[in-house]
Amino acid sequence: MTRPSPLAFACLVALLAACFPYDGALNTGALAMGPSASHPLGTDALGRDVALRLFGGLRPLVIGGGLALVAALGIGVPAGALAGARGGVIALAVRGVASAVAVLPALPITLLLGLLLGHGVLPLGLAWGLASAPAVTQAVYQRVDALRRADRLLALVTHGVPEPVAVARHLVWNNAADVLRVQCARILATFLAMETALSYLGRAGVAEPTPSWGNMLAMAMGAGAGTLRNPVAVAAPVVVIGLVGGALWWAALGRSGRAAPASSWSPGRSDVLTVASLELSTPVRALVHLAALGVPRGSVTALLGASGTGKSLILRAVAGILPAGVRATGAVSAPPLAWVAQDGRDSLDPLTSVRQQVTADAEALALSGFPADRLDCFPHTLSGGEAQRAALLAALSVTAPALLLADEPTTGLDPRARRALTAALRQYTERPDHPSVLFVTHDRRLLPGFADAVVEVGAPTPRCPDVPRRRRPAAGPVLVEARGLDAYAGLTRRPAQPRGEPVLHGLDLAVAAGETVGIIGESGVGKTTLLRALAGLCASQGSLSVLGADPRRGKPDGVQLLWQDPSTSLDPAMTLHALLGVSARLGGKRTVKEALARVSLSHRADALAAELSGGERRRASIAQVWLAGARLVLADEPSAALDAPRAAEALALLQELVGQQGGIVIASHDLDLVLPLCDRVYVLHERACVDVFTPASAHEPGRHPFTRALMDAG
């Protein structure tokens, strides 16, 4: 039998208090009696039972506080969600009104509204709710706006989820629940304090004979000698107010996950990091076991393993920032740290520019490879590779770390940038005052000449299977045709008049049925922008036809975009099975069970999306596309965060998805894996397409110099 939750018990008590009929003197005996068997807390100066009065005093909080919540949330949540989801003029208007009201003191506003609405619990609750609505609006706006800038909203909408459902369920209900919980507790706790104070003063609050903890305290304090006969009448309201107020804030803050074992690191040790018998688990299953790990001073140690083996969890355990529900046991001795997350944008504040978050000295810029002319950009305007470099730049801004934790820092970087980054990190660690590096990767090609030691997590990575190229139809229809296409930065479902300089200029592109076309180039050149232009998600000029329609006039049916950052299309507060269920309803031909089996995630069906590793999220996003069905797949870095075997399986699944009559456009840096699958490859460099070749002619002498440089580095 399951036990009732504390929330259910609190709701029952609140319901009883709201229906409590007591509003007069229940005991007409002796006045101000002390505690006794018949009156556990005694009686007050009028002979009324203190215990019953305390219980009845909960009614103003339940009724008035409940009305305040309804008013504040009913106004603040829709306004904040609308402003955050739409942005632009609507956001400016809503934020302006909310800010103008929020700067005014809430108590005078409440008193003024109380004069207009009248005295009593209901007018006071309504007045406080109206005064609190601007703060709720601001809180919800900031969370939804951050998710919109991280492409979460657009990813859901382009996947087929109606925009009102995406905003209400996925952004507000699932991802702003913690914000709303804190706001609800703040409103109730502040209403409790305000109502108590006003009732104590006796005019604007709850008047006798209706019980309130404030007027109980006022009567006890003014009872003179009667108070000496029963001091509990004074102490009881004070204690109850403190307990209820503290409980409200405890409920708002909740409890975080289990931290890593305590560190005993000392500066004089030869190893900057030692880990022994580290076990990571949840209440239902074991996750990771690491027998031993040591990182000597001035060295690079690589954690190598297949996708989903727990490499990122080990780094989080070392840093002491494990997810909620994960428990760590063992011994960890860690120094002051700097951190580079697997998703670069996770390390960056979406509401401030890169320059405001980093120390942009010449050495840090040179090491990270982040372009100095992009420092004033916001994170949501960066490419995947630029965001990764910005995250490394932010980590290098940490004061005097002894260890740099780098979780897949080469994700989203082209081959030349990967080689440059690993070489720079190698040189960086060789200086006596610079940190050692614990480097997580699944790419063995990076390790020779870079890592001093390699620690494998999980079973050895199996050999990468060969992915057969699809057979092209003899004469398939043209699925994508672009002529003189200019693509502009700025993600939107409603492409407006282009502004500024185009990211890509004068591009000609064609994709026929049965073809797989590759897009390669350096990080930040515009590969992602091109895919978004083909999907109608950013402004563009020139001739463009996708599946026989212009995507700028509405999303064509049969087009699916595989996002570079899979977390944008995965609601972190939903289980994987529930997320894939949405895609299954859109496609209607395949089942969630089949999709989980195809991407080897059946054992993670009940896991929240936030609990998945980077590689598991990538496979889950491919399962989404597979379930929804598509004739044209625009795949942005489909092999990122995947080891070679998993990447090969993912690409084979995409080929099966579109069949012989469909097409695939792949933007990727993984040349060794992707090039053999492509019928044709477009090379982007300096805002233009500088080369087009087939895999058979990739190394011919006549290739563009930039193409040769990519091939040599890849």
Amino acid at residue number 568: T
Identify the band that residue 30 occupies on the pLDDT scale cut at 50, 70 and 90: low
Helix axes 121-149, 106-117, angle to 10 degrees: 130
* CB of 31 closer than 8 Å to CB of 43: yes
Do 381 and 446 touch, CB atoms closer than 8 A? no
CATH of span 478-713? 3.40.50.300
% of the chain exceeding 70 in pLDDT? 85
For residues 435-439, average pLDDT: 89
- Could you report the per-residue pLDDT of 346-361, keeping only the tens digit for each? 778 777 888 888 877 7
Question: Which of 24-28, 114-118, 172-176 is least confident?
Answer: 24-28
The number of helices, as runs of H, and strands, as runs of E, in the chain is 23, 17
DSSP string, 248-310: HHHHHH---PPPPPPP---TT-SEEEEEEEEEEE-SS-EEEEEEEEEEETT-EEEEE--TTSS
User: Nearest CA to 290 among 300, 305, 269?
Assistant: 305
Q: How confident is the model at residue 154 (pLDDT cuts 50, 70, 90)?
A: confident
Band of residue 462 on the pLDDT scale cut at 50, 70, 90: low
Structure tokens at 560: 């699916």
Is the predicted pLDDT of residue 284 greater than 80, yes or no? Answer: no
Q: Phi then psi for 287, rounded to 5 degrees?
A: -110, -55
pLDDT at 78: 94
List the 504-512 sheet strands across, edge first. 504-512, 478-491, 538-546
Determine which of 100-104, 155-159, 365-369, 467-471 has the lowest per-residue pLDDT on average: 467-471
- Out of 17-21, 232-236, 305-309, 598-602, give the one with best mean pLDDT: 598-602
Q: What would be the CATH architecture of the domain defined by 9-253?
A: Orthogonal Bundle (1.10)
**pTM exceeds 0.85 for this model:** no
What would you report as the CA-atom Rg of the chain, rounded to the nearest whole angstrom? 31
In the chain, residues under CATH classification 3.40.50.300 are 271-456, 478-713
Neighbours of 628 (CB within 10 A): 22
Peptide bond connecting 209 to the previous residue in cis, omega within 30 degrees of 0: yes
By mean pLDDT, which of 278-282, 396-400, 537-541, 607-611 is the weakest?
396-400
pLDDT at site 256 = 41
What's the pLDDT score for residue 509? 93
Predicted pLDDT of residue 1: 37
What residue spans in the chain does CATH classification 1.10.3720.10 cover? 9-253
State the pairing for strand pair 327-333/271-281.
antiparallel
Q: What's the average model confidence in pLDDT over 399-407? A: 84
Tell me, what's the pLDDT at 659?
79
Asked if residues 323 and 345 have their Cβ atoms less than 8 Å apart, the reply is: no
Distance CA 20, CA 26 (A): 13
H/E segment holding residue 545: strand 538-546
Spell 191-229 as b/e; 16+ CB within 10 A means b. Answer: bbebbbebbbeeebbbeeebbbbbbbbbbbeebeebbeb
For residue 23, pLDDT over 60 is answered with no
Out of 236-240, 392-396, 426-430, 621-625, the most confident range is 621-625
Task: Enter the CATH code of domain 271-456.
Answer: 3.40.50.300
Averaged confidence pLDDT in the chain:
80
DSSP state of 49: B
pLDDT at 698 over 60: yes
The whole-angstrom separation of Cα 250 and Cα 1 is 27
pLDDT tens digits, 207-251: 777 777 777 777 777 655 445 567 777 777 778 877 887 777 676
Q: Is-contact 544 488, C-beta < 8 A?
A: no
- What is the mean predicted confidence (pLDDT) over 663-688? 87
- At 4 the pLDDT is 46
Tokens representing 648? 């090969």
* pLDDT, position 544: 93
Within 359-511, residue ranges assigned H as helices are: 362-368, 384-396, 415-429
Using alpha carbons, select from 150, 152, 183, 182 the residue that is nearest to residue 167.
152
Contact between 457 and 490 under an 8 Å Cβ cutoff? The reply is no
CB 341 within 8 A of CB 369: no
The set of residues, in sequence order, having a beta carbon less than 8 Å from that of 670 and lying 6+ positions away, is 637, 639, 640, 647
